[in-house]
Amino acid sequence: MTSTATEPGTRTGSTVPEPPAPAARRSAPDGVRLDGVARSFDTPQGRHDVLRGLDLELRSGEILAVVGPSGCGKSTLLRLIAGLDRPSAGALSLGGTALVGTDERTAVAFQEPRLLPWRTLEKNVALGLPRTTPAKAGRERVRHLLQLVGLEHAADLRPREVSGGMAQRASLARALARSPQVLLLDEPFGALDALTRLRMQDLLLEIHAAEPTTVLVVTHDVEEALYLSDRVLLLRSLRTADQVEPGLPSLARTVEVPGARPRDRADAALAGLRMELLEGLGVHAHTTPSTTTSSEDR
């Protein structure tokens, strides 16, 4: 299978505060909006500001990658959009209606597959179906998804009987089962070996081409972000920012990624953006090139 994802618009390849939306996505009727979103936690040491002043639009059908130092609030952001957490300030909406809790229009997959060990892969995937799905339609949907992620032969196996990559594919299929408008992925390939990871990236693009959906993917891997996404958001750690200039918003930079997918991983334009993002993450050009954003607490 080859990925046939197309880009519904031109892109600049430059680093800009907020790039113009291609016409096909501009109105983003199904998109996610965040307006002035903040999240802080009360801790024994006092208030911990994790996210601040986050304004962003996740355009319908785009793949948006989020990178940033460990602890800067990437998972917190994803949990807010998933409705698993509430913002301390600001508002979130999807398709023009407020997002105020878990929502059938969104689905999440995490770094660990989180499958039920006593259920077959097929039954695990079926867990993602909307509750009202008629039995026959549900069976067909699950069969289709297992095929899409290359697991049709493993439908009757249990999670302990399959590899980590297969389990993660089942987890992706489960997230897709309800045909979400927005697919939220938190380091979905982070626990996989390097080769499986590359394959899973291509699989995600194939899925996106076959079932276009809006995707937000959190990753520590800058190359992965540039390979997969239309735009990369770089978040800053407010703890660090506070020492320099109090009050900075969480969003440090937005990078528009050029080129239609599937991209050439060796593309010089991507290499330039990669260096730019790594610099933004505090990994300087003179250090050994690293593709990940691991930090001291990882």
Ligand X SMILES: Nc1ncnc2c1ncn2[C@@H]1O[C@H](COP(=O)(O)OP(=O)(O)OP(=O)(O)O)[C@@H](O)[C@H]1O
- Contact residues toward ligand X (CB under 6 A) are 41, 43, 48, 50, 68, 70-76
| Residue 57 CB neighbour total at 10 angstroms | 18
Does the protein bind Mg ion through residue 293 (CB under 5 A)? no
**CA 30 – CA 12 distance, rounded (Å):** 24
| Cβ distance to ligand X smaller for residue 30 or 221 | 221
Choose, by CB under 5 A, the member of 60, 75, 168, 219 that binds Mg ion: 75
Task: Please state the closest distance from residue 256 (CB atom) to Mg ion, in A.
Answer: 24
Count of positions on this chain that bind Mg ion (CB under 5 A) = 2
* CB 186, min distance to Mg ion, A: 6
Closer to Mg ion by CB, 188 or 280: give it.
188
Q: Of the two residues 166 and 218, which places its CB atom closer to ligand X in the complex?
A: 218
Q: Closest Cα to residue 282, out of 272, 295, 273? A: 295
- Can you name the residues that pair with 167 across neighbouring β-strands? none
Kindly tell me which of 79 and 143 has the beta carbon lying closer to ligand X.
Answer: 79
SS (H, E, C) 97-146: EECCCCCCCEEEECCCCCCCCCCCHHHHHHCCCCCCCCHHHHHHHHHHHH
281: nearest Cα among 297, 268, 292: 292
Measure the CA angle with vertex 26, ends 261 and 51; round to 5°: 85
Place of tokens 């290359």: 150
Per-residue string for binding with Mg ion, 26-65, x by CB under 5 A?
----------------------------------------
**Residue placing its CB nearer to ligand X in the complex, 54 or 145:** 54
- Which is closer to ligand X, CB of 10 or CB of 70? 70
Q: How far is the CB of 129 from Mg ion (least distance, A)?
A: 27
Listed ranges 66-74, 233-241, 269-277, 279-287: which one lies at the site for Mg ion (CB under 5 A):
66-74
Shortest gap between Cβ of 252 and ligand X (angstroms)?
13
Q: How far is CA 114 from CA 67, 119, 170, 172, 287, in A?
A: 23, 12, 10, 11, 36
What is the token pair recorded at 99? 């997002």
**Residue 76: contacted member of ligand X, Mg ion, none (CB under 5 to 8 Å, by partner type):** ligand X
Cβ neighbourhood burial of 165 (10 Å; 0-12, 13-18, 19+)? buried
Q: Which does 141 bind (CB under 5 to 8 A by kind): ligand X, Mg ion, none?
A: none
Interface residue list for Mg ion (CB under 5 A)? 74-75
